[in-house]
Amino acid sequence: MSAGLIGRSLIIAVDGPAASGKGTLAKRLATHFALPALDTGLLYRAVGQKMRDEGHDLDDATAATAIARRFEAAWLADERLRERLAGEAASRVAKVNPVREALRDFQQSFAHQPGGAVLDGRDIGTVIAPDADAKLWIDADVAVRAGRRFRELTSRGEAVTEADILADLVARDARDAPNMVIADDATRIDTSHLGIEEAFAAALAAVLKASGAQHG
């Protein structure tokens, strides 16, 4: 915990495309500031996974909305949410606006809990917590992101090729584009050529600068 931030609320928004490194950075920031963290992609993955489990067509907006409206935090513990198919299903349900609205309260309550929180996603700095003290936009070249996601999934035992993952990410970026709006006051960090420690140092510096500016 940094001296000077102790005792006050700190909301950190970490947005960016799939496999940009935002999840890792969000967790590191949460540990550093002793804040609770929420990976908001898991909410969409949970709705997508329920759609699969219940046998719905993933483009059935009515079914997706009904599932999102009965979302429960307990669904987030499902290990299958980390798998490739859950990510694909997530981006199909995430383009349905009523699904996004149904998941909004949970995220906003998490962000605005006493003391603050770190949330990573696509629209944290613009929709969920436009009042965040610090907003980061984390990006990387799509080929670099594909390499990272490929290593993550193969280390979990998934049989995938890097070419499949690259194709997934290109399709996912296009589908997610309407909900990936970079906040005007976000600090952009390109992690393509950064190791995790360098990326974390850049993220931490940006948070300290932004939150210092906010709080005076």
Instruction: Compare residues 21 and 87 and give the one whose CB is closer to ligand C5P.
Output: 87
| Cβ 135 vs Cβ 196: under 8 Å | no
- Give CA angle at 121 (66, 193), nearest 5°: 150
- Closest separation in Å from C-beta 195 to ligand C5P: 21
Measure Cα distances from 91 to 67, 85, 173, 178 in Å: 15, 10, 9, 11
- Closest separation in Å from C-beta 125 to ligand C5P: 10
Which parts of 54-195 fold into alpha helices (H)? 61-69, 84-93, 97-102, 104-111, 142-155, 162-176
| Burial of residue 124 (number of CB atoms within 10 Å: 0-12, 13-18, 19+) | buried
- Closest separation in Å from C-beta 2 to ligand C5P: 26
Instruction: Compare residues 108 and 214 and give the one whose CB is closer to ligand C5P.
Output: 108
- The binding site for ligand C5P (CB under 6 A) comprises 18, 40-41, 44-45, 87, 90-91, 94, 121-123, 172, 176, 179
What six digits make up the tokens of 126? 């613009």
Q: Which residue, 137, 136, 133, is CA-closest to 214?
A: 133
Instruction: Compare residues 169 and 207 and give the one whose CB is closer to ligand C5P.
Output: 169
- Closest separation in Å from C-beta 164 to ligand C5P: 15
- Closest separation in Å from C-beta 215 to ligand C5P: 25
Instruction: Compare residues 40 and 211 and give the one whose CB is closer to ligand C5P.
Output: 40
Instruction: Compare residues 10 and 19 and give the one whose CB is closer to ligand C5P.
Output: 19
